[in-house]
Amino acid sequence: MLRRRIGTTGLLVIALTACAGGGGTAGATPTGGKAAPPAPSASPSASQPDPVARTLARLSVEEKVGQLFMPVLYGTTATSSSGENQTRYGAATPAKVVARYHLGGVILFPQNVKSVSQVVGLTNGLQRASKEVPLLIGTDQENGLVSRMSALMTDFPGASVIGAAGDPALARKVAEATGAELRALGVNLDFAPVADVNVDPRNPVIGPRAFGKDPQRVAKMVAASVKGFADADVAATAKHFPGHGDTSVDSHTGLPVIKHTKAEWERIDAPPFKAAIGAGVDAVMSAHIVFPKLDPSGDPATLSKPILTGLLRQKLGFDGVISTDALNMAGVRQKYNDGEIAVRAVLAGADLLLMPNDLPKSYRAVLAAVRSGRISERRLDESVTRLLKLKQAKGYLTEAPVASASRADDVLRSAEHRRLATRVKSAAG
């Protein structure tokens, strides 16, 4: 992976996808796991300037707010003009949308994927569009049912097949191989693994996306997968907190209610997330589900401070990046307008606001909330600091990675990876 050195005046752009480590082992990833809270307002040291603090200090409030947003953009190159972009965002090309909103996110979906050389050109073009801080470019590549890059990548089996194989070592190898293929395309964050325990066979949204129905087996597979992504130097995301496995309602179209008691949550839903945090997971995605025994307000977990801050941050000790699930889903849009949803997600503890239904309205609402003091500047800085720390951990806070089409051709659907896919399917029976 080549790298492009960046400039010195502030623009942070992060590209992510929604549903739903740094090299070596995931446990060494400083962005996730049980870590001390960031010092968001710290000033760079005169003798040893901290790159995170230095970058944070040069960002304007408008740029910091932009870092929180991860919309879907339209087009197959960074300079492709699209009426959809123009209508939604007031700018025709992905590069111009990035600049207009100082974006912290761009989602890659199948509509952005045509060929290996095209995706490499797109991700490199998006990186060039960020004049300051390199992009986090992500996608939902769970394998199996949810595989946004399936047109180009090895056909690895989904989580339920890996879970049936029963070998965490295979789960780690599949995650590492998946991460290697993503990284070759210029994608450096995956919204995987699914950490839900599929205890309701009628579940219309999780099902085979989960490793299974046994919490302890799922926990082992999730931890192994987190480590595998870390081996490939791709950020991993455990989803969907606090657990989307026991529902017959799809949060894309409705608002599920999970009726587990706190004791049941501890026994059924919590183990995979605890395992992910213990393995050093980089990010955790929230679920658009109501969990009355964890928060009686009736708000979905994405908008719940007791769940995101009280439970995930304070009880489980997670200090990595918290991402919302897609904010255009019905499960999060039943009580509040699009601007208020974004504000409430930040107040609840979210760092990444994924796929807002109305980006201009949501951006203005968060910016107004910061200017009014409803969202403190310290709270804003906490989120931006976590995002910058994630980039620093992956090695591209100050140098942008540059993908290579020839390298991608060697890695994607390699004979080794195809053999691994066959091995997992055979082990699962």
| 72 secondary structure, DSSP code | B
In terms of C-beta density within 10 A (0-12 exposed, 13-18 middle, 19 or more buried), how is residue 140 classed? buried
**What is the spatial distance between Cα 399 and Cα 3, in angstroms, rounded to a whole number?**
6
Residues 6+ apart with CB under 8 A from 321: 31, 32, 282, 283, 284, 351, 352, 386, 387, 390
Beta bridge pairs of residue 69: 353
Phi, psi of 168 (to 5 degrees): -60, -30
Structure tokens at 176: 């590492």
**354, β-bridge pairs:** 70
Choose the catalytic residue: 325, 338, 351, 358. Answer: 325
Query: Which is catalytic among the residues 50, 214, 252, 409?
Result: 252
Paired tokens of 237: 């995301």
> Which residue, 312, 372, 363, is CA-closest to 103?
363
Residue 259 neighbours by CB distance under 10 Å: 11
Q: How far apart are CA 6 and CA 177, in angstroms?
A: 29
Q: How many angstroms separate the CA atoms of 328 and 320, rounded?
A: 24
Q: State phi, psi for 373 to the nearest 5 degrees.
A: 95, -5
167 is a catalytic site residue: no
Residue 256 to residue 229: CA distance in whole angstroms: 30
Q: Is 252 a catalytic residue?
A: yes
Say how far apart CA 361 and CA 312 lie, in whole Å: 28
- DSSP one-letter code for 301: G
Query: What Å distances lie between residue 173 and 120, 224, 424, CA to CA?
Result: 24, 9, 10
Q: How far is CA 295 from CA 268, 343, 380, 390, in A?
A: 17, 18, 24, 29
Which of the residues are catalytic?
252, 325
